[in-house]
C-alpha cells in the first residue's frame, strides 16, 4: 500500500534518519530542474568533523549519485515528488555537494 506523502515506507524511513550513517534519498532544484540523489553517509553528520580528524586513511564521508527511480520500490521520483519536492529535501546533504553541481 502506498503512503500518500511518500512512494514507499523505506524512503520515508531514510528521511526520518537523514543525518545518520547509512543510505538516504534527497531531492533539490537546480534552476527549473529537479535533481534526486542517493547518498551514503559513512558516519553521522554530527560526527563528521571528528571522523575526518581521526581518520588514519583517506575517508570519503559521503558518496552521492544522481538517480531517477526509488531504489526500494522503483517509483519514478520526478513523477511522484513533482509537486512535493520539499518532502525529500535535505539541506544538510545538499550542502556537501560541490557548488557547481547544485547551481550549474
Measured in whole angstroms, the distance separating CA 81 from the mean position of its chain's CA atoms is 14
Average pLDDT, the chain: 84
Cell of 32: 527549473
H runs (alpha helix) in 1-104:
9-16, 48-54, 77-80, 91-94, 99-103
Q: Where are the domains of the chain?
A: 9-96
Q: What is the CA radius of gyration of the chain?
A: 14
27-44 pLDDT tens trace: 998 888 999 999 888 888
Residue 75 and residue 7: Cα distance in Å, rounded?
7
Judge whether residue 1 has pLDDT over 50.
Answer: no
Amino acid at each position: 500500500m502506498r503512503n500518500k506523502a511518500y512512494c514507499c515506507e523505506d524512503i520515508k524511513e531514510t528521511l526520518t534518519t537523514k543525518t545518520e550513517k547509512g543510505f538516504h534519498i534527497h531531492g533539490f532544484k537546480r534552476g527549473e530542474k529537479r535533481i534526486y540523489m542517493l547518498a551514503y553517509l559513512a558516519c553521522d553528520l554530527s560526527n563528521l568533523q571528528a571522523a575526518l580528524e581521526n581518520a588514519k586513511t583517506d575517508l570519503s564521508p559521503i558518496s552521492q549519485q544522481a538517480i531517477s527511480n526509488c531504489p526500494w520500490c522503483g517509483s519514478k521520483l520526478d513523477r511522484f515528488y513533482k509537486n512535493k519536492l520539499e518532502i525529500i529535501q535535505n539541506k544538510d546533504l545538499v550542502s556537501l555537494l560541490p557548488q557547481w553541481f547544485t547551481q550549474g
